[in-house]
Amino acid sequence: MNPAPIKPLISTSDLDKIDVRVGTMSRTWRIRRSSYGCVSIFGDHARSILVGMKKERPYPEEIEGQQALFVVNLAPRKVVGEISEGLLFDIGYADEITPVLAQPEKPVPNGTRAG
């Protein structure tokens, strides 16, 4: 793989706008096309987040109970007929390799901020 060029520089204040938190995927379900839905727990609340990983993971249940990193301050949006309230971070999709989850190396409290 040849790494993609580095994106243009941003300031730390731009980065500070993104709220990345650890959440546990407590329930998953299949949605048509290439997506799954997952309910993720962030300590004091839960969110429904749609993820496009059907090609990489034929069984969504395999990620239930796992922690991962999510962007939690995106505006809710409708995707394939359902509302998504955040974004699951994955590694590899943009580079067209099989994506893997961005996860903490050991369990941390749900809702813990990254950065």
pLDDT of residue 106: 97
pTM to 2 decimal places: 0.89
* CATH code of residue 41: 2.40.50.140
Quick check: is 114 in a domain?
no
Burial of 51 (0-12, 13-18, 19+ CB in 10 A): buried
- Domain of residue 76: give its range: 17-101
Split into its structural domains, the chain has a count of: 1
What is the pLDDT, as a whole number, of residue 33? 67
Q: Is 49 among the domain residues?
A: yes
Query: Is residue 36 one of the residues assigned to a domain?
Result: yes
Is 46 a member of any domain? yes
Residue 75 lies in a domain: yes
Q: What is the pLDDT of residues 60-90, one digit of tens each?
A: 888 999 999 999 999 999 988 899 999 999 8
In a domain, 5, yes or no: no
In a domain, 80, yes or no: yes
Within a domain: residue 31? yes
